Amino acid sequence: MASGLKPISVELPQRKVLTCGSVGCRTDRPGCGAWQGGAMRLRDLLSSEALPGLPELRLLGGGGHLDRPVLAAVTIDLPDPGRFVSPGDLVLSGLAWRRKDAGAGQCDAFVRVLVEAGCAALGAGEAKFGHVPADLVEACDRHGLPLLAVGVEVPFTAVTEYVARSRAGARVGNLAALVDRHRRFTADRQAGAGADALLELMLAELDLRAYILSPTGRQIAGARPPLPEKTASALAGRFLAAERAGGPAPHRTVARSTAYSLFPVRTGPDAGAAPTDWLIAVEADCADWGRERVDLVERLARLVAVERSGRDTDRTARRSTAGRLLALLEPHGGGGPGGG
């Protein structure tokens, strides 16, 4: 490392409240990662557990912005990186764009473009120069951009994979919390969001297209545009065949060159397969998922079953009420109007 440049020592306390500090990122806009409970923060990259078996990343500047959300990591070695950077990105650079004979203006221009694009932080590789150049440190400090030193022993791929895993885990965790909250509300009879709302959670948080289908293939809820009738009918038929064959759920199939995973919506917690069961058809191959994501969709299926049970109970209650009203209107004594 260049003379006079020392890593900044910072305390890393756990904080419950996360605010978005990314330049160019409005915290009130829908979908901002700062407002998703499990969003990864810049401070997480400095943890000793972030890159097992590898040297830790070192903070060279920007210690006051460690609560910025990190939504993705991208590797860039172009002198004008702006069009490749999105708000919340951790930009990793091997500094191939920096010439030794260039003045401080080159680093200043590079950093300014990152800040204008909403970059969360810059991770500078030390392989080219053996350290992070002083003019880059000064430019980041001047523009308020956090700067991390990435040692020669740390491959950029390890950092990008860690960010990707953390981000995916946070999204699944957020959705799991929302599903659990809905389950408690349903138990307290405060819900009523319906199957559409449950599917909307999954579509929004896991980037999946899903449909709730009846045994005949009628779409009850789900993504728009709806499935073509022939496709929905074929999926329902394959689901029933797989259930009759006794194969373990979820069932995997392909329709019109698209992979689907079919999850049963059981009528009871211990109920076996029934020809009246609904199904959730997810437009994805669950063989590519981790166990956590499969469990989450199965929990959603159980919640949809609760919604269906409530719907059926309401329908039965309305029919019973209608029957009692008709009985009250029937003439007594069987004489008809004017009789008796």
Phi, psi of 282 (to 5 degrees): -105, 130
Map 72-134 to HEC letters.
Answer: EEEECCCCCCHHHCCCCEEEEECCCCCCCCCCHHHHHHHHHHHHHHCCCEEEEECCCCCCCCH
Domains of the chain (ranges, CATH numbers)? 33-162 (3.40.1390.20), 192-324 (3.30.450.30)
How far is Cα of residue 147 from the mean position of the Cα atoms in its chain? 27
- Residue of 148 and 313 predicted with greater confidence: 148
pLDDT of residue 321 exceeding 90: no
Q: Do 132 and 123 touch, CB atoms closer than 8 A?
A: no
Structure tokens at 169: 């885990």
CA 236 – CA 223 distance, rounded (Å): 16
What's the whole-number mean pLDDT along residues 171-179?
54
Predicted local distance difference test score (pLDDT) of residue 304: 80
Predicted confidence (pLDDT) per residue in 202-245, tens digit: 666 667 789 999 999 999 888 888 999 999 999 999 999 999 99
**β-strands 72-75, 89-93: how paired?**
parallel
- Would you state the torsion angle of the CA atoms of residues 89, 94, 100, 103, taken in this order, to the nearest 10 degrees? 0
CA 209 – CA 297 distance, rounded (Å): 12
Predicted local distance difference test score (pLDDT) of residue 260: 97
> Is the sign of the CA dihedral 7, 8, 11, 16 positive or negative?
negative
What's the whole-number mean pLDDT along residues 111-131?
93
Listed in sequence order, the residues at least 6 apart from 131 whose beta carbon sits closer than 8 Å to its beta carbon are 1, 2, 5, 149
Number of other CB atoms surrounding residue 68 within 10 Å: 27
Predicted confidence (pLDDT) per residue in 50-100, tens digit: 677 778 899 999 988 988 888 888 888 888 888 888 888 999 999 999 987
Please provide the size of the chain in residues.
340
pLDDT of residue 136 exceeding 80: yes
Predicted confidence (pLDDT) per residue in 178-194, tens digit: 555 445 444 433 334 45
According to DSSP, residue 57 is labeled P
Structure tokens at 65: 């912005």
Structure tokens at 202: 């999954």
CA 107 – CA 114 distance, rounded (Å): 11
According to DSSP, residue 69 is labeled B
